[in-house]
Amino acid sequence: MPRTHKHKLGTPFRRHYDPQNLEKALEAVIDGKMSFGQAALVYKIPKTTIFNKYRGLHSDKLGKPCILNAAEEKNIVHAMMTAASFGYPFVRQDLRQFVQMYLDRKGVVVKCFKNNIPGEDWVKAFLKRNPELARRNSENIKRSRAEVTPELINDYFDHLRVTMDGVPPANVINYDETNITDDPAKQKVYVKRGSKHARRILDNSKSSTSVMFAGSGDGELLPLYVVYKSKHLYPEWLQGGPEGTHFNRSSTGWFDGPIFEDWFFKVALPYFRRKDGKKVIIGDNLQSHLSVSVVTECEQNNIAFVFLPPNSTHVCQPLDVAVFRPVKVAWRIVLTEWKKKYRGVMPKTAFPGLLKTLLQKLEPNLAGDIKAGFTASGIIPLNPEKVLKHVTPSQARDAVDDEAMTESFDLIMQRQTLTPEIPNKKRGKKLEVPAGKSVSLKDILPNHQPTETDDIYHPGPSNQEEMESESSEDDDIDAKSDNQRKIDNKITNKIPVTEICDINISDFVIREFIYNDQTKKEKVKQFVAKVAQINDNNNIVVNCLRNYKESKNKFIFPQVSDVNKVALEQVKYRLDSPTITRGVHPLPNFD
């Protein structure tokens, strides 16, 4: 049911009088010119209405009173603003859970709330009653960026104030690189109502090209510097670009140390040499941007090289703050128009021309955007408050008088701030499973054959105590090896293998592997293995085992099978068959 009630046609209105007439009736009663009854007749206002207004009992608010009073709602607004300043703004679900926690701690049960959780209509009415709150799309930032403290920013501006003393805006430049992709991004289109998917045929790829932008404090854009992802450069990739643009390439498509030096000497240094007095260059603190030759040249040309605080480019980098967003928006428009004319992904031959079109589209507002970036980042004019208002405060939150409200706020903030890191981030080995085929345990563990008592594969005990309690020396191969799996030649119960008939499938053998080390000296390693298949041409398929937790006489099959096809000459000895235990399973047939 909607909270904002609308009168239906044919029903009487609540108010049949003009509010100004009510004020005149009150004045007449207060001055003693009329009684309540006379004023009601003259101004056509109910007598009880005039009386209630006179006694202060009349309320301008109609309808049922709010579930939470004004003070409680103001505390909720204060808590939401505090959470947003910490970098953890509430979403609708957070607000509803926060109200539920508060009501539960007060011991209040609201019948119209399900389990004390307010509905969507209450949220809409709450936001309408508190216009100081606004709903906006969030910009997600990493936790490392959120850890930038006011103390770090103040220290940065203390040093910058000394460096910028007496430097005109034209003598200050900020540089930053960005990647320009071949994807025009999503766009709203018109489709049939009820369609679940709105697809648009438009070729795109994941490729991107790095471009170094640099702007001065007075709004001038320096020549661009483009880096392709390629091993070589071709003349067709350099034609038709903006005037003065430089081109380069790298295997990764990003700026490295030598490329950054080339940009500095071809773009930044010529600009500074045209300026008199002290100069300042500001950029992020990447290792590739720190070069002995660059710093030496800066000292010789009276250029101060300034690094931004770590993880703070989203608030301290002028180009990041005010320039790159309009650049990306304009690029999507330019790229979309090009893709409407041509089929396929954007080739590198077309990139310079599109980059020139991009700058032409940005030209009317580009100088103003660059200046706005320096102003918003607090550099020109120097103003730390421009940055501090975007930084998460390090001091504790302001206390709220309501104890239940404070406890609820602490709990909901703990859920967001005390989340643990993801365990076991390793990706592991890629599974070779055809697309569309369901994955089974055999795809992950090829050697596993489930039994009635073993539904889940356990490659081995989870700890040393379990190993000692569930297996013994009789359960494993009666062999000794060092940490490098080299089998001791003094091992007993070894039967030399000279012919193919000396071994059978499922026998445990010692396989010899000969290799050359770094000094090209021939070395020999030995492995315990299990025979999986015997071919007619004296070739044998074996599955090698590994030591269990650096044990010298205990071996298990690895989770990822180590299957090898070897010649008979590499199989030196046959071992007595051990008792099959978990972690040692028969192998499937090999074709």
First to last CA, the chain: 69
Are 470 and 461 a contacting pair, CB within 8 Å? yes
Are 247 and 269 a contacting pair, CB within 8 Å? no
Residue type at 551 in one-letter notation: S
Eight-state DSSP code of residue 502: G
pTM of structure: 0.56
pLDDT at 490: 40
Place of tokens 């421009």: 386
Mean of pLDDT over the chain: 78
How far is Cα 113 from Cα 97, in angstroms, rounded to an integer? 12
The C-alpha torsion from 47 through 50 and 51 to 53, rounded to 10°, is 150
Are 314 and 145 a contacting pair, CB within 8 Å? yes
How far is Cα 535 from Cα 566, in angstroms, rounded to an integer? 10
How far is Cα 507 from Cα 503, in angstroms, rounded to an integer? 7
For 313-327, the pLDDT digits (tens) are 888 899 999 999 999
How far is Cα 380 from Cα 445, in angstroms, rounded to an integer? 62
Superfamily per CATH, domain 148-185+204-388 = Ribonuclease H-like superfamily/Ribonuclease H (3.30.420.10)
Superfamily per CATH, domain 1-63 = Homeodomain-like (1.10.10.60)
For 325-346, the pLDDT digits (tens) are 999 999 999 999 998 888 888 9
Q: In what order do the strands lie in the sheet with 246-250?
A: 246-250, 225-229, 208-216, 172-181, 279-283, 303-307
Eight-state DSSP code of residue 117: B
For 114-170, the pLDDT digits (tens) are 899 999 989 999 999 999 998 888 777 666 666 678 888 888 899 899 999 999 999
Nearest to 337 by CA among 184, 178, 180: 184
Topology agreement, domain 1-63 and domain 148-185+204-388: no
Residue type at 173 in one-letter notation: I
How far is Cα 274 from Cα 255, in angstroms, rounded to an integer? 26
pLDDT at 396: 44
How far is Cα 14 from Cα 40, in angstroms, rounded to an integer? 17
175 bridge partner residues: 214
Q: Where are the alpha helices (DSSP H) in 377-488?
A: 385-388, 403-417, 441-444, 464-470
With cut-offs at 50, 70 and 90, classify the pLDDT of residue 4: low
What are φ and ψ of residue 528, in 5° steps?
A: -85, 135
Place of tokens 């300034």: 306
With cut-offs at 50, 70 and 90, classify the pLDDT of residue 3: low
Which are the contacts of 442, defined by CB distance < 8 A and separation ≥ 6? 448
Residue type at 519 in one-letter notation: T
With cut-offs at 50, 70 and 90, classify the pLDDT of residue 461: very low
Place of tokens 């690189």: 177
For 254-293, the pLDDT digits (tens) are 888 889 999 999 999 999 999 999 999 998 877 666 778 8
For 77-130, the pLDDT digits (tens) are 988 888 887 777 888 888 998 899 889 888 889 888 989 999 998 999 999 999
How far is Cα 142 from Cα 385, in angstroms, rounded to an integer? 22
pLDDT at 445: 55
- The residue extents of the domains of the chain are 1-63, 69-141+395-419, 148-185+204-388, 428-591
How far is Cα 567 from Cα 159, in angstroms, rounded to an integer? 71
Nearest to 225 by CA among 247, 203, 205: 247
Q: How far from chain centre, in Å, is Cα 222?
A: 31
Q: Is 480 left (phi over 0), alpha (psi -120 to 50) or beta?
A: beta
